[in-house]
Amino acid sequence: MKLTDISKGLLTNCMALKPGESFLVVADDAKRELGEALWEAGRQLGAEAVLMVMTQREKSGQEPPAAVSEAMKRSDVVVCVTEHSLTHTRARKEAVANGARLATMPSITPDMFREGAITADYSQVKALTEKVADLLSRAQTVRIEKEGKTLAFSIAGRSGIASTGVYVNPGESGNLPSGEAYVAPVEGTAEGQIVVDGSISGIGKIDSPLVLTVRQGRIVDAAGAEADRLLQTLGDGDGRLLGEFGIGTNDKARITGVVLEDEKVYGTIHVAFGSNNTFGGTIAAGVHIDLVVKEPDVYLDDKLIMKRGKLLF
């Protein structure tokens, strides 16, 4: 199928775009082609479609230009198709608070439009994602175990968030493709180690595991081939604080090296370091880097809910 035709299906089924609505596509230099396909799809569907192409951001979580932020707030439907993620930015948060239905598609490729997570049955993804998000909302603690390493932290008082891929009501937002439930850990509570063996946003699939040591919620050591590169991206400040824990719920998603899809893979979990103030936390670091872990054991309140990547419900 042509990218425009696929885009029309996404905008209709996942965003409920209607004729006459204001529709904004935010793209950057790297994703201009996909941005133009989405804009053309919106135009063909009868929306008041606008395409804004900005200079590529340096890293995920970095704010877009002020003109883009303002346009996002004034649109009914917004799709951000960019190299680096705008998901955890103030611009996205303010647009959603203003009632926008918003999807972010960081690092998406033409292949990902046609294959993998995009092809999922989103009614099934939605049901499972909402169930996992509810479990996170009711839990007090998380423990992740893999290859003899354990990372534990509190999520007490934090709400689980369902990124279902279906954003049809004012103020709903998330990734496309999607399928994850996630939560902001309580800052400063994480202790232990975690083995990362899937992928890292901005780096891609990793050939050898990365072992992170966390004390009082902060990375204090990283060992592995990509350790220095990760730490350099996170910086020396609050970028090294644990900001997110998520569980993938999309059975069509693949580990491709693009975290947008990787973190949605059923059988994986992910943690992220950096900003979480846009979804219930207090960290505003100007960076947000996700790391994907394959087939871990996960406990909520000391109850095993995932064994070697398989959800036990």
Instruction: Catalogue all structural domains in the chain, each as residue range(s) with its CATH number.
Output: 3-114 (3.40.1830.10), 118-311 (no CATH)
Q: Is the pLDDT of residue 279 over 90?
A: yes
> What is the pLDDT, as a whole number, of residue 1?
75
> What is the pLDDT, as a whole number, of residue 119?
86
Q: What's the pLDDT tens digit per position in 119-148? A: 888 889 999 999 999 999 999 999 999 999
> What is the pLDDT, as a whole number, of residue 131?
98
Our measurement of the distance from residue 274's CA atom to the centroid of its chain's CA atoms, rounded to an integer in Å, reads 13
CB 105 within 8 A of CB 80: yes
Q: Is the pLDDT of residue 113 over 90?
A: no
Q: To 10 degrees, what angle do helices 66-73 and 90-97 make?
A: 20
> What is the pLDDT, as a whole number, of residue 286?
92
Sign of CA dihedral 86, 152, 162, 261: positive
Q: What's the pLDDT tens digit per position in 169-206? A: 999 999 999 999 999 999 999 999 999 999 999 999 99
Percent of the chain with pLDDT over 90: 92
Where does residue 159 fall: left (phi above 0), alpha (psi -120 to 50 degrees), or beta otherwise? beta
Question: Taking the model in full, what pTM does it have?
Answer: 0.85
| Closest-CA residue to 76 (of 168, 9, 177, 213) | 168
